[in-house]
Chains A and B, each alone.
Chain A
Amino acid sequence: MTSDELIWRIAGGSGDGIDSTSQNFAKALMRSGLDVFTHRHYPSRIRGGHTYVEIRAADHEVQSRGDGYNFLLALGDSFARNPKEEAYYGNEELKPLSENLDDLREGGIIVYDEGLIDDEEVADIDLEARAEENDWHVFPMDLRALAREHGREVMRNTAGVGVTAALLEMDLGHIEDLMEDAMGGDILEANLEILHEAYDTINEEYDFEHELRAPEGSHDTEQALLSGSNAIAYGAIDAGCRFIAGYPMTPWTDVFTILTQNFPDMGGISEQVEDEIAAAALALGASHAGAKAMSGSSGGGFALMSEPLGLAEMTETPLVLVESMRAGPSTGMPTKPEQGDLEFVLYTSQGDSSRVVFAPGNIEEAYEQTRLAFEIAWDYQLPSIIIYDQKLSGENTNVDVEFFDRDPSPDLGATLTEEELKEAAHDASGKFKRFNYDEAENNVSPRSLPGQQGGRYLATGNEHSPVGHISEDPDNRVAQMTRRIEKLESIREDLDEEHASNQTYFGDETAEYGIITWGSSQGAVAEAVERLNENGYPVKGLGVSDMMPFPEREVTDFLESVDEAMVVEMNATAQFRGLIQKELGRFGDKLTSLLKYNGNPFEPAEIVEGYEVNLEGEDRQPTAQVRIEPAAGD
């Protein structure tokens, strides 16, 4: 007996090892042949506070966290303090159990740690009555005692995994292998004992009345479990990036850390510096001197990068910046996703923008578009920005290992060698015409690097002449400004002709109703479209990744082919819908918005419901925390 899908939620306190345990369990599920997708929910705290990780595993492709979940392992928060009356954070001891019940599906399983979650308190939340009502199967176990008996208290995670495996009738093999990879000696031995004891105890002492079992699947090719941050870091490595500068800020820190840890072995340089202005300025300085460089941050740190970003545009210095969004404004919710920085990233810094912005929608796109961002930045000498969010940063999915089997591309793009510089145009003083506008193919004038023979010029953030002298001459200004801005048109043509579309289409091509989205909301939309199609609704979807230059033709074709479209995004002010209307100048009466900004990503069911409510034209909102913003004139 197997089930269609397992969505396992492990809950506890921050610092209880929830993350590492879930990583291993996800990998074990992947190794057993399943497709997996993880979702991390954690507070902005180091120790304690309600945290959970969800792992969705199925024998078919999974593109989102899914809806709700069907197995809860509530470990208990070992850092919880005794709750005081009306304390800010409520009863933390109980939260791993009590906070999660609303989303547990009918027929689901609950395992909770009696060692940390007090039975008297459990009585307070009417667990018994709710379990009966929802056909939940509850297994209280003293996991802490079991862990203490054979090792240390923190190993109750292992006990929890053993219990899970027994209840789902899983083979322990993959879990044991992973434990052997991760540890050794006494620690490994203790963990293995705990794993087996927990597994056997459940089998011996409990009757299984529940129907949930681990799904079974198989992969034809080797799989790797990666996060979006891994994919971006790996895309950068393969693009030849070997210089990174940054300042820690959640969720961008992941990319920064991954590259920093790998660069010493690759001849790269990483710098943690005093602030984000410095970080982006360092990347710019390294790029100017001839390295492929990147920096990045989350919204608050990216705000500081506005200065070097504009300087990169004006001096036409290639640069890649990544921006991992979290809920704002200001410090907002540091560990919660939102798609609220789109307008900020598109337009921040003074003057007209000449930058490229990509918003990858999943792990594969994160890798591909990072490579593309480097390629375009160095070919066209401008900053490329990859905008993504806390969700894509931290979610892990399995990807075919072969997907990453590509050659590196350490090409410096429109950069001349000394041989080429000899042939290049120079002015009367002997200076290289680095900002030549007469012969600029695709609006790009190739550059030289400091130290090259015959390449002397001045790079300046002021408007400048072809050799880089500060110039306020009106004719020169128009020529230089036009050239910089029109690079975007050249890039658009290049993207349309040379590259497969970065946009992702799903559903029935002939459908009359469209759902359009961007970035990490793509997976949930894709699943929602699939379900709507199964239910007989003629719906198709479009996930847009090119934010600037905007894929005018593709989006126009899509919107012209439907009667109505719903724009799905995680923010309160419909920023992407605004971008579509700004870029295309129409479709205001065709576009409805479905918005969510409560700190949690969309579940597919919310999008399905949003579609249905909108279709019915009812004057109500789909749920308490998802909002429909009607089309203009409605």
Chain B
Amino acid sequence: MSAFNAIGEEREIDRDEFTPGVEPQPTWCPGCGDFGVLKALKQALPEVGKNPEEVLTVTGIGCSGKLNSYLDTYGFHTIHGRSLPVARAAKLANPELEVIAAGGDGDGYGIGGNHFIHTARENHDMTYIVFNNEIFGLTKGQTSPTSPKGHKSKTQPSGSAKTPLRPLSLSLNAGASYIARTAAVNPNQAKEIIKEAIEHDGFAHIDFLTQCPTWNKDARQYVPYIDVQESDDYDFDVTDRREAAEMMHETEDVLNEGTVLTGRYYVDEDRPSYSEEKHAVGEMPDQPLAERYFDDDAEWERSYDLLDRHT
């Protein structure tokens, strides 16, 4: 018998199960795009057959970090920029958990940028949702790594001299095997993309555009949007790295000029996930490590058996 019976449990799952029984008052502002992520997740998870107790959501700091306060799964609300290293280790320790990491653009692309690059490089099997509103929300409106050039804020009063980061291109170059962009204003697409990301076997990065009505006054920035899969103007092969790169470039060039492209940008089903790679070189146990501690028959090697080389 497994020590983790919630994992893989097959039953009809109601989306209400993901809403805490005693619902906390959200700290998000009215009209915040973060509600869109929450809603899309609550819809997607039951549809892919996940129940709340087999899901671990790991978040960083910022408005986005509160996601797992309002979503009733196992949750780890970590610290600014550090959701990914915590999440990927939880996945390694118990590969049967459904691990979803989430954070903001400051959290994930700024302070956590290094972890983002390396988690994508290693292609850990998890979903990473970045709430991208191009601003620091929780600290009250400072310029973020994705804020447009020239963006004025209290910390960049003359307008930002920095070119915004290109998260999709960065992710592609770092090695993510599923890359998409969606927006809170596009709920149906968001749900579908989240479902695909969860089912994808590898690092799935979703740049989730979330409007900030409080600190980005032009909160209609992501409307109208164009779905690149639906539009005849954008015909490209999502499994072709070069074509995906070109499309990303196009999006990232025009995002701040009123043209918002969303959809799947890159899908590589062939690339093995990190745990598969690790398994192939003999560095990943067959039995989930976390299970082993509950297994009465588990044999624990001891250091005494290693002493021959020291005598």
Question: Which residue numbers of A lie inside 8 Å of B, CB to CB?
Answer: 222-226, 230, 233-235, 237-238, 240, 242-243, 245, 262-271, 273-275, 277-279, 281-293, 307-308, 310-311, 315, 401, 404-408, 410-412, 417-418, 427-431, 449-462, 468-470
Contact = CB atoms under 8 A, between A and B. Distances in A.
Contact of B302 (A293, A408, A449, A456): A408
Given A288-B90, A401-B311, A430-B21, A234 B306 contact: yes
B75 A266 contact: no
A429 B292 contact: no
A281 B72 contact: no
B302 A225 contact: no
Nearest to B87: A285
Nearest to A290: B290
B75 A459 contact: yes
B22 interface: yes
A362 to B, nearest CB: 16
14 contacts: A225-B311, A242-B292, A264-B282, A269-B93, A281-B85, A285-B87, A290-B289, A308-B82, A450-B74, A451-B94, A453-B5, A455-B74, A457-B75, A458-B69
Chain B, interface size: which category?
35 or more
B96 interface: yes
B290 A277 contact: no
Contacts of B90: 285-286, 288-289, 450
Contacts of A427: 22
B290 to A, nearest CB: 3
A263 B282 CA distance: 10
A294 to B, nearest CB: 12
Contacts of B151: none
Contacts of A408: 300-302
B73 interface: yes
A314 B165 CA distance: 33
Contacts of A460: 69, 75-77
B258 to A, nearest CB: 37
Contacts of A226: 310
Contacts of B115: 274, 278
A270 B285 contact: no
A568 B21 CA distance: 59
B7 interface: yes
A279 B79 CA distance: 14
Nearest to A258: B306
B100 to A, nearest CB: 12
B293 A269 contact: no
B53 interface: yes
A401 B303 CA distance: 11
B3 interface: yes
Given A288-B76, A315-B76, A410-B293, A455 B53 contact: yes
Contact of B79 (A285, A291, A292, A307): A307
A385 to B, nearest CB: 19
Nearest to B300: A408
A140 B54 CA distance: 72
Contacts of B4: 418, 449, 451-453
Contact of A264 (B21, B69, B283): B283
A456 B4 CA distance: 12
A452 B93 contact: no
A450 B303 contact: no
Nearest to A295: B89
A450 B89 contact: no
A-B pairs with the 9 shortest C-beta distances? A429-B21, A290-B290, A285-B89, A234-B303, A451-B4, A285-B86, A460-B77, A281-B85, A282-B89
B294 A469 contact: no
B52 A456 contact: yes
A286 B306 contact: no
A247 to B, nearest CB: 11
A225 B308 CA distance: 10
B68 interface: yes
A462 B93 contact: no
Interface in B158-198: none
A277 B82 contact: yes
A266 B293 CA distance: 13
B53 A267 contact: no
Contacts of B78: 281, 311, 461
Given A407-B302, A429-B21, A452-B6, A468 B75 contact: yes
Contacts of A267: 285-287, 289, 292
A612 to B, nearest CB: 39
Contacts of B200: none
Contact of A278 (B69, B118, B291, B292): B118
A232 to B, nearest CB: 11
Given A273-B85, A430-B21, A451-B96, A462 B72 contact: no
Nearest to B19: A429
B30 interface: no
A237 B4 CA distance: 24
B247 interface: no
B53 A274 contact: no
Given A291-B289, A401-B307, A286 B77 contact: no
A282 B290 contact: no
Given A266-B301, A451-B53, A243 B21 contact: no
Given A277-B82, A431-B72, A453-B4, 14 more contacts: A234-B303, A238-B303, A242-B289, A243-B89, A243-B92, A262-B306, A273-B118, A283-B89, A290-B93, A311-B82, A410-B293, A450-B74, A456-B74, A460-B76
A450 B56 contact: yes
A180 B68 CA distance: 60
Contacts of A274: 114-115, 117-118
Contact of A452 (B20, B53, B68, B289): B53
A412 B298 CA distance: 14
Nearest to A225: B310
A429 B115 CA distance: 35
B89 A293 contact: yes
A453 B21 contact: no
A404 B303 contact: yes
A234 B310 CA distance: 12
A225 to B, nearest CB: 5
Contacts of A308: 79, 82
A308 B78 CA distance: 9
Given A267-B292, A269-B285, A459-B77, A230 B86 contact: no
A222 B311 contact: yes
B7 A451 contact: yes
B99 to A, nearest CB: 9
Contacts of A290: 93-94, 289-291, 293
Contacts of A459: 75-77
A237 B301 contact: yes
A376 B286 CA distance: 29
Contact of A223 (B82, B93, B311): B311
Interface in B255-285: 278, 282-285
B119 to A, nearest CB: 9
Which among A225, A401, A459 has the highest number of chain B CB atoms within 10 Å?
A459
Interface in B47-99: 52-54, 56, 58, 61, 66, 68-69, 72-79, 82, 85-94, 96-97
Nearest to A317: B76
Which among B69, B82, B283 has the highest number of chain A CB atoms within 10 Å?
B82
A227 B276 CA distance: 35
Contact of B6 (A278, A283, A431, A453): A453
